[in-house]
C-alpha cells in the first residue's frame, strides 16, 4: 500500500499548458505517473506532450476518469481551480501554487467541509509514492528507493533533504508529503499521520516541522493518546529565527512562546517524538529507532 496515491492514480493537470505545468508534467510522466488529461480554459481540443487538453474539469473527468489533480494555476485563479476540482469530487487535489490570498483559501476550506476531496497544499511540493506515482514537483532522483519511511513536511526543500539522508542510510521512502507552509492549508499533520499509521508499508514516520503555529504540537498530543503507535522522528526548522519575523513561509512566524523551535522540540520530545537537532541526524536516528 501507499497513502493517497499509487500506480493506479489517474492524474489531471490543471494549468498543464503553462511553462511550469509542462515542465513538471514531463517530470511526473518520466517518474511513471499516469497523466490522463490537462485543463486550460480556451485550449480544449489541443494536445500538449501528447496529453489531451480540456476547457473544464467537468470535461476532463468525464472523458478520462481522472481521480487526482495537480494545480499549476496562477495565484489569482488557483482557488477557483481548487473549487472546480472539489465540485467534480476529485479524490486528491494537490495545489502547488504559492501566494494564494488567505480570503480565497477561507472559501476553499469552507467548500471542503463534508466533501470527499482531500487537498494537499497550497504552496507545497506535493506527494510522491516511491516507484509508484508522483503528483507534484519533487526531484525524481532522490525518491528512487521504495521503503517503509513515511515523510510529512511543512517545507519543500527540507522534504528532499530528509529523503536524501534516509536513502543514504540505506532506507527507502513509502510516501512523502509536503503539506505547504501557508497559514491556511488543506490536510494537516494529524490527518496524514493517521493515514501513515494505517499503512502497512510504513513502519516509521519522519516529521519535518517549522516555527509558527501548533500543527506539530496538536498532532503529537493526539498521537500520544494512541495505543497502536509507530516510531516518529521529528525535526523543527527555524531554530535561530527571531520572534515576529516571517521566515520563508507565510505560516512560519513566531507569535507565541510555544511556536518557537526550542519550545516545540521540547514539547514534542515530552510527547514521545524522537527529536533530532539537525537534518543531517535524521538518517542516523532512523537507523537507531528501527534497529535499537
- Grid cell digits, residue 224: 500520544
Q: Alpha helix (H) ranges present in the chain?
A: 19-31, 57-64, 75-87, 102-112, 156-168, 189-198, 215-224, 261-270, 282-290
- Grid cell digits, residue 211: 516555527
Task: Give the helix/strand (H/E) hosting 148.
Answer: strand 146-153
CA distance linking residue 45 with residue 263, whole number of Å: 55
Q: Is there a catalytic annotation at residue 249?
A: yes
* SS3 at position 168: helix
Half-sphere exposure (CA, 13 Å, Cβ side) for 76?
A: 0
Which among 24, 171, 249, 274 is annotated as catalytic?
249
Residues with a catalytic annotation lie at: 249
Amino acid at each position: 500500500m501507499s497513502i493517497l496515491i499509487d500506480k493506479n492514480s489517474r492524474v489531471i493537470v490543471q494549468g498543464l499548458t503553462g511553462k511550469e505545468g509542462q515542465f513538471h508534467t514531463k517530470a511526473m510522466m518520466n517518474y511513471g505517473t499516469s497523466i490522463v488529461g490537462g485543463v486550460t480554459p480556451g485550449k480544449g481540443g489541443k494536445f500538449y506532450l501528447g496529453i489531451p487538453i480540456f476547457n473544464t474539469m467537468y470535461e476532463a473527468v468525464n472523458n478520462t476518469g481522472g481521480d487526482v489533480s495537480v494545480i499549476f494555476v496562477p495565484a489569482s485563479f488557483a482557488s477557483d481551480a481548487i473549487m472546480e476540482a472539489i465540485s467534480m469530487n476529485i479524490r486528491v487535489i494537490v495545489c502547488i501554487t504559492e501566494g494564494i490570498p488567505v480570503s480565497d483559501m477561507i472559501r476553499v476550506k469552507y467548500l471542503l467541509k463534508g466533501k470527499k476531496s482531500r487537498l494537499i497544499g497550497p504552496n507545497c511540493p506535493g506527494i510522491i509514492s516511491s516507484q509508484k506515482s508522483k503528483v507534484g514537483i519533487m526531484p525524481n532522483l532522490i525518491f528512487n528507493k521504495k521503503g517503509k519511511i513515511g515523510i510529512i513536511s511543512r517545507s519543500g526543500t527540507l522534504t528532499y533533504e530528509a529523503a536524501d539522508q534516509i536513502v543514504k542510510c540505506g532506507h527507502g521512502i513509502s510516501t512523502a508529503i509536503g503539506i505547504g507552509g501557508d497559514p491556511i492549508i488543506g490536510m494537516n499533520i494529524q490527518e496524514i499521520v493517521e493515514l501513515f499509521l494505517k499503512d502497512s508499508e510504513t513502519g516509521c514516520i519522519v516529521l519535518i516541522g517549522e516555527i509558527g503555529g501548533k500543527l506539530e504540537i496538536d498532532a503529537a498530543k493526539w498521537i500520544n493518546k494512541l495505543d497502536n503507535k509507530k516510531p516518529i522522528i521529528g525535526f523543527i526548522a527555524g531554530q535561530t529565527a527571531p520572534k515576529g519575523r516571517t521566515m520563508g513561509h507565510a505560516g512560519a512566524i513566531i507569535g507565541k512562546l510555544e511556536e518557537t523551535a526550542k519550545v516545540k522540540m521540547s514539547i514534542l520530545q515530552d510527547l514521545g517524538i524522537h527529536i533530532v537537532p539537525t537534518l543531517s541526524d535524521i538518517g542516523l536516528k532512523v537507523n537507531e529507532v528501527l534497529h535499537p
